[in-house]
């Protein structure tokens, strides 16, 4: 990757974020047609997960690029990215800091990054707002966060488990909140126990504790990506607490849970790598290795593994897998660059409309763009 390519990807990501909430007359007509067909319509929540992935990519580029990526971006560019992130978050803050969905937690990572790098208290306040929402929102009897309680079910989605675990882990690590780290761990431990397919080791999209049932397809790429991103961020948080001697996550969590979390992540990484395509990508449905590749799933999965490598978290537990992980991440990076045109990441699968409803539309979407920038910024 050269400087021009990296700058182009950043520019497109910034533009996607600036325009993500534009709602045209054409969009309104499309939503009307979708509503008539009882299909999902546009979610206009400014903190929803597509914006969250764009913010994640920009945050990694501005605040924590790797040595290689760091040499490709100058201070003026970093300041511009920071201003773009800040402007977007400041509008949300000015509009009342509404938190409506578990998905909003992903965008909250940018609030924490902005607070860490600017010291501005308003970002801390926004981060607390999201943490309080996750602490108080409906959960099942095992404390898994119900994805969309307004539908009257108790479904726990891989999306929600991974996103909330990411946010709670970072929030706990930065602000030394023991309960947040414990809640993050529960999301992943519970999904591993109740939401994985016993034969393949891949996750279903969701599970219901009340019905004792798993739902959705097995091995949907982005579901795998969400869970893996949750695991790597939690492990990074536990590693930071351990290495700094803070033990803010609690003695029992560090001693009794960290090894279990790493063991689960190790198994998941090993399983997922076995499904990587010869071209370095991952398919929209992981076992469909001869089907359509998905840049969003590829970037999310590889980003998680890159975060794990960067953090140094519990590497002694996975020495035998380290080289395979490095090759998988490198291959994914090459695949994503090959799918990028003038900074625009192409061939991402369209949004999931419901459980097991994955329309086979591949194009430029915010989730492919943001997750690719996040990955390329740290490998």
Which percentage of the chain shows pLDDT scores above 70? 91
Dihedral sign, Cα of residue 103, residue 55, residue 351, residue 38? positive
Asked, for residue 38, whether it belongs to a domain, the answer is: no
Q: How many domains does the chain have?
A: 1
Asked, for residue 41, whether it belongs to a domain, the answer is: no
Residue 348 β-bridge partners? 363
Is the per-residue pLDDT at 31 higher than 70?
no
Q: What is the pLDDT of residues 355-376, one digit of tens each?
A: 999 999 999 999 999 999 999 9
Q: What is the pLDDT of residues 279-324, one digit of tens each?
A: 999 999 999 999 999 999 999 999 999 999 999 887 887 889 999 9
Is the separation of the CB atoms in 201 and 268 below 8 Å? yes
Global pTM? Answer: 0.94
Is the per-residue pLDDT at 215 higher than 60?
yes
Q: What is the pLDDT of residues 220-267, one digit of tens each?
A: 999 999 999 999 999 999 988 777 765 544 555 566 788 899 999 999
Token duo for residue 248: 């803010």
Asked, for residue 340, whether it belongs to a domain, the answer is: yes
Residue 302 domain boundaries: 3-17+46-378
Please report the pLDDT score of residue 372 as a whole number.
98
Mean pLDDT of 17-43: 62
Averaged confidence pLDDT in the chain: 92
Q: What's CA 185's distance to the chain center, in Å? A: 16
Distance CA 70, CA 373 (A): 13
Asked, for residue 166, whether it belongs to a domain, the answer is: yes
Asked, for residue 12, whether it belongs to a domain, the answer is: yes
Asked, for residue 29, whether it belongs to a domain, the answer is: no
Q: Which residues neighbour 100 within 8 Å (Cβ) at sequence distance 6 or greater?
A: 45, 47
Q: Which residues neighbour 312 within 8 Å (Cβ) at sequence distance 6 or greater?
A: 239
**Lowest mean per-residue pLDDT among 14-18, 178-182, 360-364:** 178-182
**Lowest mean per-residue pLDDT among 42-46, 79-83, 357-361:** 42-46
CATH of the domain at 341: 1.50.10.10
């Amino acid at each position: 990757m050269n400087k021009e390519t990296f700058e182009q990807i950043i520019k497109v990501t910034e533009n996607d974020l600036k325009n993500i909430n534009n709602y045209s007359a054409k969009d309104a007509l499309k939503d009307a047609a979708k509503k008539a067909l009882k299909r999902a319509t546009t979610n206009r929540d400014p903190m929803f997960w597509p914006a969250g992935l764009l913010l994640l990519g920009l945050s990694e580029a501005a605040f924590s690029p790797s040595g290689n990526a760091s040499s490709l971006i100058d201070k003026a560019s970093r300041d511009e990215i920071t201003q773009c992130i800040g402007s977007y978050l400041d509008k949300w803050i000015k509009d009342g800091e509404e938190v409506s969905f578990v998905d909003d937690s992903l965008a909250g990572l940018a609030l924490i990054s902005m607070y860490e790098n600017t010291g501005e208290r308003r970002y801390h306040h926004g981060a607390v707002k999201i943490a309080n929402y996750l602490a108080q929102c409906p959960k099942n009897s095992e404390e898994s966060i119900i994805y969309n309680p307004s539908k009257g079910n108790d479904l726990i989605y891989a999306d929600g488990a991974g996103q909330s675990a990411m946010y709670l882990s970072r929030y706990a690590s930065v602000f030394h909140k023991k309960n947040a780290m414990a809640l993050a761990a529960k999301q992943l431990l519970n999904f591993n126990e109740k939401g994985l397919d016993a034969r393949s080791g891949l996750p279903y999209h969701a599970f219901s504790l009340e019905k004792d049932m798993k739902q959705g397809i097995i091995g949907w790429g982005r579901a795998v990506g969400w869970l893996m991103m949750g695991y790597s961020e939690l492990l990074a948080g536990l590693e930071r607490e351990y290495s700094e001697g803070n033990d803010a996550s609690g003695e029992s969590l560090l001693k009794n849970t960290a090894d279990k979390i790493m063991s689960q992540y190790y198994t998941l990484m090993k399983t997922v790598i076995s499904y990587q395509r010869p071209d370095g990508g991952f398919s929209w449905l992981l076992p469909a290795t001869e089907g359509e590749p998905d840049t969003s799933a590829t970037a999310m999965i590889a980003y998680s593994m890159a975060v794990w490598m960067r953090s140094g978290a519990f590497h002694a537990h996975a020495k035998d897998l380290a080289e395979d992980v490095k090759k998988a991440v490198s291959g994914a990076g090459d695949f994503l660059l090959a799918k990028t045109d003038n900074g625009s990441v192409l061939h991402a699968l369209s949004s999931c409309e419901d459980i097991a409803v994955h329309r086979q539309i591949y194009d430029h979407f915010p989730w492919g763009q943001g997750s690719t920038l996040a990955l390329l910024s740290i490998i």
